[in-house]
Structure 1
């Protein structure tokens, strides 16, 4: 999902290969030319035009600011003299220029692109066909397997039930989740949808996507199994933490 996490080149599970053996810990610092502000209870606690992004092996990038640009408790940034870091949860609103940023700082090396396709996609959950479409939008996102977002008209919505599970993506927005009820039982949070996506997620608005990496879900693309690597969502252990 970036240079230093997931399947990125310095992440936990690199997707590609390097022509050298990297050290166990890699740090990379890059200037971030955008004005970054943070607010707590409508009070500006960060306002900086001298932000840097700090990458560290196994972690998402973090903002670091000159200490004088911060008006809240902060920790010294060990990788940049005179700079400090502010925990994301210390502010209730973050902005880059006038654009709100959610979940974590944007990563310039992370990209998402949703492409229209005519591939034939089928989804079986618990052995039952719940979706079939030849008009998916395929979402290609750095560090993640291709995701197949299907029109709601091509999904057995009578088998779906919305549940109180919610996650946030810095690039796509907030996702709501759906259980699937089959003759073999209920499969929790098997699918999700973005009803009010951010700009980059607009092409997948209101479409339904299923976790192809879950063992009880079988997704095929043109008759072949969809890519199904290990991801943080390969099992259901994340679901309770995503409940409000």
Structure 2
């Protein structure tokens, strides 16, 4: 979760609320400097390189990076003549991108009729994330979306008793689970494979990608489809859950210290698809 997407405070699915006497506007947009060097690669070449990027947080969207036009390689973007209208920011002109033999329509956009209150985006252009070869902070590829300073993950070992049942069958029983706290989401409990009856889990041919944890695989448990998941090779920042398995409490019975967990607000997650041209192997080697 970030500031404005999924269950963030500016998203429509927010799990908390602002303690104000009057309701806030239905939509609040927030722009701030990224304070990191961000680069864009397209057609095998760097086409944008800036330390003056502005991040736009818009309700129910991932953060979007806006570059000063002067930090974009001249001749890379071609006006397409296509204009749309953003509900908050007005007219939006679209660009095609061309670099060498590579060409892509609707690869970038610019808001061209901004009100004064949105002047932070004046003269800036945003690139369609999946239309580019990749985005990089310094020399490391950034996957999924631009950095969101409001997203945090904390992982804690615990000695609490956790049990998972599918009907009468005990699927897992552990006194050493690990809990993952992720901004805005309900806690997720991960269990070592040694404490799981792996014969109860059927691997399925489904993968999703998390920009913060890596590539996830899923398991069916009895008739419950995708009732468990695992990050077999989680990113180093979250390596404590690598190859452990977590269970959906609305699909199988999960008990923590004898109390059954329920699907609570903020538990649901909208999975992120892979970037264009990004294969599973590359997700392990950002």
Could you tell me the TM-score, scaled by structure 1's length?
A: 0.87
**Aligned residue for 1:171?**
212
Contact 1:105 1:170 in 2 (8 A): no
**Aligned residue for 2:100?**
none
The number of residue pairs the alignment matches comes to 233
Tell me how far 1:45 sits from its aligned partner.
2.8
The separation in 2 between residues aligned to 1:10 and 1:197, in whole angstroms, is 29
Q: Select the residue among 228, 231, 240 that pairs with 2:263.
A: 228
The separation in 1 between residues aligned to 2:43 and 2:207, in whole angstroms, is 24
Q: Which moved more, 1:195-204 or 1:129-138?
A: 195-204
**Aligned residue for 1:153?**
194
Q: Select the residue among 101, 111, 115 that pairs with 2:156.
A: 115
Contact 2:15 2:265 in 1 (8 A): no
Tell me how far 1:232 sits from its aligned partner.
8.1
**Aligned residue for 1:74?**
108
| Residue deviations 1:136-157 (CA, integer Å, cap 9, x gap) | 1100001211001100001111
| Residue deviations 1:92-128 (CA, integer Å, cap 9, x gap) | 3221122221111221011001111111111123553
Tell me how far 1:230 sits from its aligned partner.
4.9
**Aligned residue for 1:65?**
67
The separation in 2 between residues aligned to 1:40 and 1:125, in whole angstroms, is 48
The separation in 1 between residues aligned to 2:165 and 2:203, in whole angstroms, is 18
Q: 1:39 to 1:112 in 2, by over 3 A?
A: same
1:188 and 2:222 matched: no
What are the equivalent positions in structure 2 for 1:3-18 lying under 5 Å apart? 3-18=3-18
1:124 and 2:161 matched: no
Q: Which moved more, 1:123-132 or 1:105-114?
A: 123-132
Tell me how far 1:18 sits from its aligned partner.
1.3
The two structures, once aligned, show a CA RMSD in angstroms of 2.3
Tell me how far 1:75 sits from its aligned partner.
0.2
The separation in 1 between residues aligned to 2:43 and 2:267, in whole angstroms, is 33
**Aligned residue for 2:128?**
87
Contiguous gaps of at least 5 residues in structure 2: 77-96, 98-106, 275-279, 281-286
Q: Which moved more, 1:97-106 or 1:144-153?
A: 97-106
Could you tell me the TM-score, scaled by structure 2's length?
A: 0.75
Contact 2:207 2:217 in 1 (8 A): yes
Contiguous gaps of at least 5 residues in structure 1: none
